[in-house]
Chain A
Amino acid sequence: MNILVLLKQTFDTEEKIVLKDGQIQEDGVKFVINPYDEYAVEEAVRLKEKFGGEVTTVTVGPARSESAIRTALAMGADKAILVEYEGEADECVIAKLIAAAVKDQTFDVVLGGNMAVDSGAGQVAVRVAEIMGIPNVSAITKLEIGGDTAMVERDAEGDAEVIEVRLPFLATAQQGLNEPRYPSLPGIMKAKKKPLAIVKPEDLGLAEEELKPKTRVCGLSLPPKKQGAAKILTGDLADQAKQLVELLRHEAKVV
């Protein structure tokens, strides 16, 4: 079974965001595999362990992405492609780059994360499915493959939908799909020698027009700071509960 995983490197979710000169600072930031993509890597490696075959990862991003890619290889992926891209791309361009980078290969299953925890858009994987001409199932929490069909459970705003889909298809991982493994020490050693192909966007045969973003970022800001600390209530708990209900109804006016 040939499996492709779409992989992005992101800030660790415990990192704070600091803006300097209108840009997000990366100095000293801990980078990780996008947590949702990590579920996708884990699921891909499990499929490989069950059915045999090969797991390829593909990333569009700056050179620093290699550390996340090596982690995926250490978890059990076999090879990787990095489309090195430093400039400002939108989801439309990124999806085209990914599809172009793997266009000569065929896959039975394509997996990605439900969204990236940095951009939070959740567009790229679904766009890739459309460009590849295969169905997509979003936010899956369970995947079982039998023959040329898969039974997939997806999170539909809290409800669970059971969907049957023919191979090949693309699915995006939701929390609860699996428990990603920690790379083993031999896994980490082996990962260093696994093939990583680094390609340039202009070498992928896309027309110049296709590499032009359709949307642009025109400003970044931090959310407004809360005014001061919480009003900590005092008195016995029953009295505090009474005060709080009063405050929420008549001061904050939210109930």
Chain B
Amino acid sequence: MARNVLVFAEIRGGHLRNVTLEALAAARKIAEGGEVAAAVFGAKATEHLGVLARHGADRVYVVNGDLEPYRTECYTQAARQVIEQARPDVILMGHTGIGKDLAPRLAARLDMGLVSDVTDVAVEGGEVIFTRPIYAGKAFQRRKFAGGPIFATIRPNNIPMNEPDPAKKAARIDVSAEIKDLGTVVREVVRKTAGGVDLTEARIVVSGGRGVKSADGFKPLRELAEVLGAAVGASRGACDAGYCDYAMQIGQTGKVVTPDLYIACGISGAIQHVAGMSNSKVIVAINKDPEAPIFSIADYGIVGDLFEVVPLLTEEFRKALAESQ
């Protein structure tokens, strides 16, 4: 059954987010020969038309209006106007900071069902089936729609993006969104992540637990992360002890990450932490205690003091990566 799919694209720091391209891959699968459209918001949208087309968009809605910075109400109104024009059977967006906030608001306004935080999409017997983690990945749930339009948010880093097709073009449609009655005003944005890699989208995560012993103890982890282009995370133990900001917390409370490589440094492996990272593709554990439960879910382990091991690793990676360039 051909379906028309609309993907809401997201730009962060001037770049189109990977999850948008992953959502386009999911869209092509669900469309089954139907049309895939993307909607991109704001003045910088035009730069990204080519990438959206090459990754599967047949048409791109470029939405202009008072859309900067992100506010729930203005995006909800603009998104609704695009949906009214595009009339999609399926709506997809990333399960990002914006997606988590916008999708439920939009779904409620349109009285739609919504499946959040999807890690896999399949079409089985003509039905679209979404797989999503529950209990932060301790289990998985399959969900489908009882009828009516389909709406889902896609977790970053799980659905592989399609190979870009260099010859593909997309039609451009301009939409001027009318925005009113916002109710909220953004007074200030404090960038705490300047230069850093976003935790939920990172391909490699270097994470510290109570074993880092202090805020300064994260320094060797940051150095390793820099060499690897990785994001730095933490366990609840490290956050509760005040070594780092809660924004870095990985676990059932905190963020759930599924990178290609997760390097756990001085993390014992409490169940609530493991829930947030156990679906990483490859897990490395570095811990002084050979009995630490983290070793039971790791692929590779080094028993030793992280303050000795991590700088050695940083040096080895630096050498190895320099040689391969």
Whether A130 contacts B113 in the complex (CB less than 8 A), given A237-B302, A245-B317, comes out as no
Q: How far is the CA of A36 from the CA of B253 in the complex (A)?
A: 8
State which of B134, B260, B303 has its C-beta within 8 Å of the C-beta of A254: B260
- Interface stretch among A41-49, A54-62, A227-235? A227-235
Assess whether B129 is in contact with A14, with CB atoms less than 8 Å apart. no
Q: Are A138 and B100 in contact (CB under 8 A)?
A: yes
Known: A135-B183, A245-B313. A215 touches B135 (CB 8 A): no
Chain B residues with Cβ under 8 A from A156's Cβ?
70, 97, 189
- Give 1 or 0 for each of A1-22: 1 = CB within 8 Å of chain B CB: 0000000000101111101000
Please tell me if the beta carbons of B309 and A123 are within 8 angstroms of each other in the complex: no
Residue pair B116, A121 in contact (C-beta under 8 Å): yes
B184 touches A215 (CB 8 A): no
For the side of the interface on A, what is the size category? 35 or more
Given contacts A174-B246, A176-B246, A212-B146, contact A223 B316 (CB under 8 A): no
- Contact of A222 with B136 in the complex, beta carbons under 8 Å: no
Query: For residue B113, which residues in chain A have a CB less than 8 angstroms away from its CB?
Result: 90-92, 213-215
Known: A127-B105, A255-B317. A163 touches B184 (CB 8 A): yes
Question: B108 contacts which chain A residues (CB < 8 A)?
Answer: 92, 95, 126-127, 130-131
Of the candidates A13, A230, A246, the one whose C-beta lies within 8 Å of that of B285 is A230
| A226-250 near B? 1/0 per residue, CB < 8 Å | 1001111100011011101111110
Nearest residue in A to B96 (C-beta to C-beta)? Answer: A157
Chain A residues with CB under 8 Å of B115's CB are: 215
Check B167 for interface membership: any CB of A closer than 8 A.
Answer: no
Q: Are B253 and A231 in contact (CB under 8 A)?
A: no
Interface segment among A64-72, A76-84, A103-111, A112-120: the answer is A112-120
Select from chain A the residue with minimum beta-carbon distance to B137: A223
Residue of B nearest to A227 (CB): B299
Shortest Cβ distance from B319 into A: residue? A245
Q: In the complex, which residues of chain A have a beta carbon less than 8 angstroms from the beta carbon of B184?
A: 135, 137, 163-165, 169
Return chain A residues, CB-CB under 8 Å to B68. Answer: none
Q: Which listed residue (A130, A160, A217, A237) contacts B189, Cβ 8 A? A: A160
Q: Mark B283-325, 1 if CB is under 8 A from A, else 0.
A: 1110000100001111111111000110011011100110000
Of B193, B239, B312, which one neighbours A157 at CB under 8 angstroms?
Answer: B193
The reply to whether A217 and B142 form a contact with Cβ atoms under 8 Å apart is: yes
CB pair A136 B282 closer than 8 Å? no
- Of B105, B271, B316, the residue contacting A241 (CB under 8 A) is B316
Stretch at the interface among B1-9, B53-61, B207-215, B272-280: B272-280
Q: A126-B108, A163-B187 are in contact. Are A230 and B299 (CB under 8 A)?
A: yes
Would you give the 0/1 interface string for B33-64, flagging 1 where the beta carbon is closer than 8 Å to chain A? 00000000000000000000000000000000
**A241–B312 CB distance below 8 A:** yes
In the complex the two chains form, is B72's CB within 8 Å of A135's CB?
Answer: yes
Select one of B96, B228, B246, B271 contacting A14, CB under 8 A: B271
Q: Which residues of chain B have C-beta atoms less than 8 A from A121's C-beta?
A: 114, 116-117
- In the assembled complex, 30 residue pairs joining A and B whose CB atoms fall closer than 8 Å, in A order, are A24-B139, A35-B253, A91-B116, A92-B112, A119-B134, A127-B104, A130-B109, A135-B73, A159-B191, A162-B186, A163-B184, A163-B185, A164-B184, A164-B187, A174-B246, A215-B145, A216-B143, A218-B142, A223-B137, A223-B138, A229-B296, A232-B302, A233-B302, A237-B309, A240-B302, A240-B312, A241-B312, A245-B316, A252-B281, A254-B203
* Sample of 18 further A-B pairs with CB below 8 A, known A120-B116, A254-B203, A255-B317: A118-B135, A126-B108, A127-B105, A135-B72, A135-B183, A136-B101, A151-B187, A175-B246, A213-B113, A214-B113, A214-B147, A216-B145, A222-B139, A230-B298, A233-B302, A237-B312, A245-B320, A254-B204
Q: Give chain A's interface residues, CB within 8 Å of chain B.
A: 11, 13-17, 19, 24, 35-36, 90-92, 95, 115, 117-124, 126-127, 129-131, 134-139, 141, 151, 155-166, 169, 174-176, 212-223, 226, 229-233, 237-238, 240-242, 244-249, 252, 254-255
